[in-house]
Amino acid sequence: MSNNSSINIGGLNFEWELEKGRFIFEQQDSVLFWISSAMRTFFDTIEEISGEEASTLVFEATGFRQGLVVGEYFDKMKDVDVKEAATLITATYASAGWGLADILDLDFTNKTLTAHIKDSWEHKINVEQGKKKGGHFLAAHYAGIFTKLFGTNIWCKIVQEQLEGYEYSIIEYFPSNITVSDNIHELARKKESEQISQLEQVVEEKTKELKDLVKRISSPIIPVHDDIVIVPLLGKYDEDRSELLVTNTLNNLPQYKASYLVLDLTGLDRDISQHTASLLEKIGSAANLIGIKTILVGISPELSIVVSQAHINLSQFDCFQTLKHGIHYALGQLGRKII
- Tell which residue, 46, 62, 72, 43, has the closest CA to residue 183: 62
Q: Mean pLDDT across the stretch 203-228?
A: 75
118 membership: H or E segment, kind and range:
strand 112-118
Residue 211 and residue 228: Cα distance in Å, rounded?
A: 29
Assign 117 a pLDDT band (cuts: 50, 70, 90).
very high
CB 262 within 8 A of CB 250: no
Question: Are domains 33-178 and 218-333 of this chain identical in fold?
Answer: no
CA distances for 24 relative to 15, 74, 161, 175, 258, angstroms: 5, 19, 32, 35, 97
For the segment 67-116, what is each residue's pLDDT rounded down to a tens digit?
A: 999 999 888 876 778 899 999 899 988 988 899 999 999 999 999 999 99
Residue 126 and residue 119: Cα distance in Å, rounded?
A: 11
pLDDT over threshold 70, residue 57: yes
42 membership: H or E segment, kind and range:
helix 40-50
pLDDT of amino acid 19: 87
For the segment 256-281, what is each residue's pLDDT rounded down to a tens digit?
A: 888 999 999 888 877 777 777 788 88
CB 243 within 8 A of CB 283: no
pLDDT over threshold 70, residue 189: no
pLDDT over threshold 90, residue 173: yes
- Parse the chain into domains and list their residue ranges: 33-178, 218-333
Q: Which of 25-39, 111-125, 204-218, 294-308 has the lowest mean pLDDT?
A: 204-218
Residue 296 and residue 245: Cα distance in Å, rounded?
A: 16
pLDDT of amino acid 169: 96
Across the beta sheet with 112-118, the strand order is 100-107, 112-118, 169-175, 154-160
**Homologous superfamily of the 33-178 domain (CATH):** Trafficking protein particle complex subunit 3 (3.30.1380.20)
Provide the whole-model pTM.
Answer: 0.56
Q: Mean pLDDT across the stretch 31-59?
A: 86
Q: Note the Cα 329 to chain centre separation in Å.
A: 59
pLDDT of amino acid 100: 94
Look up the CATH architecture of domain 218-333: 2-Layer Sandwich (3.30)
In percent, how much of the chain has pLDDT > 70?
A: 91
DSSP secondary structure letters along 121-177? HHHHHHHHHT-SS--SHHHHHHHHHHHHHHTS-EEEEEEE-GGGT-SSEEEEEEE-S
Mean pLDDT of the residues in the chain: 85
- Tell which residue, 280, 159, 177, 166, has the closest CA to residue 219: 280
Residue 297 and residue 262: Cα distance in Å, rounded?
A: 7
